[in-house]
């Protein structure tokens, strides 16, 4: 499995599944979530309403509609408080559940954002370490390529540095 770090807009990535860093309602929000909902179109919101939300650390799948992907895997990352409230375990669970869903839907190429590092304030270096370690150690059968798509330069540089250390 190949992991690569990209700086850019996840809604522009052509792949089998795009991961949405969603909120518990799955009904859209800011950041990555809002961008994905805007690009996918109103059909995504209509399908998300049928899912009745998602627990933190879990993942649910919808069609991608107007995105250049087949599926959107919605996951809810933890809000970072102080690192003492199972945030790391819940963030790791997001990546694992997304990979489980990608495997279930036989996705070969999946694109992740930096989950929980925006409005949920997870420290980027800690989140990147969890993401890279979890993704590298997951035994994938179908997934052959993972893109971690970083919106800003600081997040991109942090992920690149950590991936090189591995």
User: How far apart, in whole angstroms, are the C-alpha atoms of residue 103 and residue 86?
Assistant: 26
Q: CA angle, corner 19, sides to 13 and 22, nearest 5?
A: 130
User: 26-35, 62-71, 127-136, 144-153: which range is least confident on average?
Assistant: 26-35
Its pTM stands at: 0.97
| Edge-first strand listing for the sheet containing 2-7 | 2-7, 145-150, 109-112, 15-22, 69-76, 59-63
Of 9, 16, 33, 152, the catalytic one is: 33
Q: Would you say residue 10 has pLDDT above 90?
A: yes
Residue 33 annotated to the active site: yes
User: How far apart, in whole angstroms, are the C-alpha atoms of residue 94 and residue 151?
Assistant: 19
Q: Are 112 and 130 in contact (CB under 8 A)?
A: no
**pLDDT tens per residue, range 17-69:** 999 999 999 999 888 999 999 999 999 999 999 999 999 999 999 999 999 99
HSE of 84, CA atoms in CB hemisphere, 13 A: 1
pLDDT above 90 coverage of the chain, percent:
95
The residues near 52 (Cβ < 8 Å, ≥ 6 apart) are none
DSSP state of 11: G
Q: Would you say residue 166 has pLDDT above 70?
A: no
Q: Are 109 and 144 in contact (CB under 8 A)?
A: yes
Q: Would you say residue 141 has pLDDT above 90?
A: yes
Banded pLDDT at 114 (limits 50, 70, 90): very high
Banded pLDDT at 164 (limits 50, 70, 90): confident
When pLDDT is averaged across residues 66-87 and rounded to a whole number, the result is: 97
CATH class of this structure's domain 2-165: alpha beta
Say which residue the tokens 């998300």 belong to: 48
Banded pLDDT at 165 (limits 50, 70, 90): confident
């Amino acid at each position: 499995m190949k992991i690569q770090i990209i700086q850019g807009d996840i809604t522009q990535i052509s792949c089998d599944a795009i991961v949405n860093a969603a909120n518990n309602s799955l009904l859209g929000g800011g950041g990555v979530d809002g961008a994905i909902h805007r690009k996918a179109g109103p059909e995504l919101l209509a399908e998300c309403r049928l899912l009745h939300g998602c627990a933190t650390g879990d993942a649910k799948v919808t069609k991608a509609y107007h995105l250049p992907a087949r599926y959107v895997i919605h996951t809810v990352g933890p809000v970072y408080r102080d690192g003492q409230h199972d945030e790391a375990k819940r963030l790791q669970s997001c990546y694992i559940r997304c990979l489980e869903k990608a495997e279930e839907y036989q996705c070969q190429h999946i694109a992740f954002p930096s989950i929980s590092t925006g409005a949920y304030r997870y420290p980027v270096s800690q989140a990147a370490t969890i993401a890279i370690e979890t993704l590298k150690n997951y035994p994938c059968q179908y997934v052959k390529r993972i893109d971690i798509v970083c919106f800003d330069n600081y997040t991109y540089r942090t992920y690149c540095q950590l991936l090189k250390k591995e």
